[in-house]
Every structure is written in structure tokens, then in C-alpha cells.
Homo-oligomer: A and B are copies of this chain.
């Protein structure tokens, strides 16, 4: 969305802008900008005394900023949806992170993010309740023959009740994101601690990995995948100096590319890593109830599609399945899927209210063939993290309850 911006807007000075801007909660400590007002407009500011042009690039639109007599540029966006958005600044043609914000991995880069206050933000706000932890781990993958990196959410009771074993949810990010997305932008640990403290979810472990970078030895990296939710790959033409990893030198053309249309398999080597490395590692290292009835998989967008294909290809491995903005299961593919139907206890499909993914109809159809299907549509949100925070909040209340 960020990089697909084609239009340049300049908001005219207007009596309609509410001057109640406050620093964003996603700002770096002590930084006043960016700010958000009650109309959910974003105001950015940066000192660039010698610059000719500075723009705020958010939600697929670039907004011109204006320079004051001290060389400080300030400008506002149009109102944004509630929740989290990636954004950046453009200074004389250079797209750079805003030094005022914290940084998140999305749109295939570490860069600026901003959280717009939401009416329901309580559910992902840190509270003084029993706290689990988000654990950063490395493990050896026999599939990629390399050390890999992931995150594990352990609920508070994992520590306070040292003999208890727990179910596990395997939870995946979207295209252009990585294993940090669910804990940072997604606020997974906070959502779960609050849900468990309120008695709305049973305590379970969550494992989050990188669904994009798994490659078997000798495999080429994915160089390009255009046209997906507005997120462009590194190395896209015109992005100046960014080239796919492994491309030869400065003058090279980049390695072979596999576009979505060219046979890219959403699961690919990641399916093998998940089944052969990750699940055994989690079940060995943690106190896990290591059976199908206590194993779930879910993901957002591309991670939802991976969930779709991996749970279909491994129909007796996961009892609970969630697709957040990742499309739907359909009746045709499940009618004769006896193992999947016998194993599945909950099939959850969700999307944002501004997306049109047909999750309600799909769930109704699936119920007709005996699937315990659930759907959820996040009010007034698009293909973004507020949809997925809410989807996790809903899904977590449905699983491991028998």
C-alpha cells in the first residue's frame, strides 16, 4: 500500500482540521511527532533545512509537507482507519523511515509504523494482569540446513504452574512481513494475556516463524512478487539501490524470480520446515500436549493461504484452523476430505469490513457439509493489522475448548 502510492495530495489549510493532535503511541520515547488527531489524521514533522520537497507517504497516498522558516517540514494526511499502518517519509525522492516512529517489518522492509487509536483498543493494551512472555529463539532446521529464528508466546501459567502442559497455535504473518509481525504489530502477547486473565481464552502456547525465507539448500530466493495487497518486493524497478539478496554485484540483474503467477507455492519449503522441524522442536523444548486435538494453525493473508494449503495437505495434524484475510475454504474441496472433516473442530475465516472475501457465506456453506465453521468481519478496517488483531482475539476464544 505504502509503496504503491501514485497520487500526490496537498491538503489545503482548512478549518476542518481538529487541532487536538497528540503523539502517536508508536513513537520513539520522547518524540512528539508523528501525531494523530481526533479525526485520525496523521501529522508528521521533520527538520530538513536544505530539502526541496518532503512528503508523508501513508495509506497509498503521498501528502506534501510544508517548510517553516527554521527548515522544519510539517504536514498532515487524510483521516486513516483505526489501527496500525506502515508509512514513510520521502525527502527529495529518498524514501526513508521517519526518525520519530518506532520501526516494524512490513512491506518488505523495516520502517515506520503508526497506531491510530481505536474504539476497541483496550483488548490490546498492556494491563496489570498475569503476564506471559514472547520468547526469541533460534533452532536448527534439517530442511534448510541452517539456523532459523522464531518467537514463542508462553502464557503466564507456563511459569506459575510448572508441571502443566499446553496446546499450541502455529501462527503466521503475511506477505512482506516476517516472524516479528505478530508480536510487534499484532500485539499477540498482550491480546492473549488479557484474554486469558478475563477467562475468555484457555492458556495456550503460540509459535511464530518466518513463512517467506525458508529455502532448501541450493534454492533461489524469491526475487519478486508483485500485485499483492499493494506491497512491492525489494528490488522492484525504480526503488533505487535495493536488489534481491544474492543478486550478483551492483551491475547485476537479480536472480531468477518466481512471481505468484509463475507457480509460486504459498507453502513450499515452509511446509516442510513447519512439519519436520518446528513442530518437533516446539514439542521437544516446551511442555506441550503433543496431539492433534491440541494443535492449531492460523495465519493472516499469505499466512492464511499457507494455513489453507498446509492443513489440507496434512489433514490429521491440526484440529483448529484459522484464515485471517486469507480467502476461504470452499465446499468443493472439503466435501470429500474425510480426514480433514473428522479432525477439524473449528474452521475460522475472517476479513476486514473493507475487504470483500465472502467469509460469512463460506462459513454458512461449510456448516451445510458438517464443518464447525465460524466467520468474523472486522468493522471498518481493510487488509491491515487491526483486522488481524481482532481476528486473533476472536479465534483465540474458540479454540482448545473442545
Taking beta carbons and an 8 Å cutoff, which residues of A are in contact with B? 23, 28-33, 45-54, 70-72, 89, 91-100, 102-103, 108-111, 126-128, 131, 133-140, 147, 152, 154, 159-160, 162, 178, 183, 189, 213, 221, 234-235, 239-245, 247, 250, 285-287
Contact = CB atoms under 8 A, between A and B. Distances in A.
A137 B234 CA distance: 33
Contacts of A189: 136
A102 B105 CA distance: 10
A183 to B, nearest CB: 7
B241 A72 contact: yes
Contacts of A127: 147
B138 A135 contact: no
Contacts of A31: 234, 242, 245
A244 B31 CA distance: 7
Contacts of A100: 241-242
Contact of A52 (B52, B98, B242): B52
Contacts of A102: 110
Given A49-B92, A51-B94, A241-B100, A108 B140 contact: no
B52 A53 contact: no
Contacts of A126: 138, 147
Given A128-B140, A135-B134, A138-B131, A93 B71 contact: yes
Contacts of A286: 159
Contacts of A242: 30-32, 99-100
Contact of A50 (B49, B52, B72): B52
A19 to B, nearest CB: 10
A32 B248 CA distance: 10
B241 A52 contact: no
B134 A136 contact: yes
B94 A97 contact: no
A128 B54 CA distance: 46
Given A128-B147, A136-B135, A92 B50 contact: yes
Contacts of A72: 240-241
A29 B213 contact: yes
Most buried by B among A45, A49, A137, A154: A137
A213 B183 CA distance: 23
B137 A94 contact: no
A92 B159 contact: no
A250 B128 CA distance: 32
B89 A96 contact: yes
A220 to B, nearest CB: 12
A178 B50 CA distance: 32
Contacts of A131: 137-139
B99 A96 contact: yes
Which are the 6 A-B pairs with shortest beta-carbon distances?
Answer: A47-B240, A48-B94, A50-B92, A51-B92, A30-B245, A49-B93
Contacts of A139: 131
Most buried by B among A33, A71, A92, A126: A92
Contacts of A147: 126-128
Given A128-B140, A240-B47, A133 B152 contact: yes
Given A51-B94, A52-B52, A45 B244 contact: no
A72 B152 CA distance: 40
B47 A239 contact: yes
Contacts of A50: 52-53, 92-93
A105 to B, nearest CB: 8
Contacts of A244: 30
Contacts of A247: 32
Contacts of A138: 126, 131
Nearest to A29: B245
